Amino acid sequence: MHSSHEPSAVPQELFQQIAQQVRAGRQAKSWSQQDLAQHSGVSRRMIAMLEQGESNVSLATLYKISMALGITFGQLLMGKDSDSLAVIEEQHMPVLWRQGESNARLVLSVRTKQAAEVWHWELAPGGSYPAEPDPEGVEELIYVLSGTLTLKLNGAQYELTAGEAIRFSSQSPFSYNNCTDSPVAFIENVLS
What does the pLDDT look like over 9-58, one tens digit per residue?
566 767 788 888 899 999 999 999 999 999 999 999 999 999 988 767 78
Total length of the chain: 192
**Over the stretch 111-156, which tens digit does the pLDDT of each residue have?**
667 778 889 999 999 999 999 888 888 888 899 999 999 999 999 9
> Torsion angle, CA of 71/31/39/65, rounded to 10 degrees?
40
When computed from its CA atoms, the radius of gyration of the chain, rounded to whole angstroms, is 16
Note the pLDDT of residue 5: 39
pLDDT tens-digit series, residues 68-113: 998 887 788 777 666 655 566 677 777 878 888 898 888 777 666 7
Q: Report, as an integer, the average pLDDT of 154-161.
A: 93
20: amino acid identity, one letter? Q
Rounded to 10 deg, the angle between the 44-51 and 33-40 helix axes is 120
Give the mean pLDDT of the chain. 85
How far apart (Å, rounded) are the C-alpha atoms in residues 188 and 115? 14
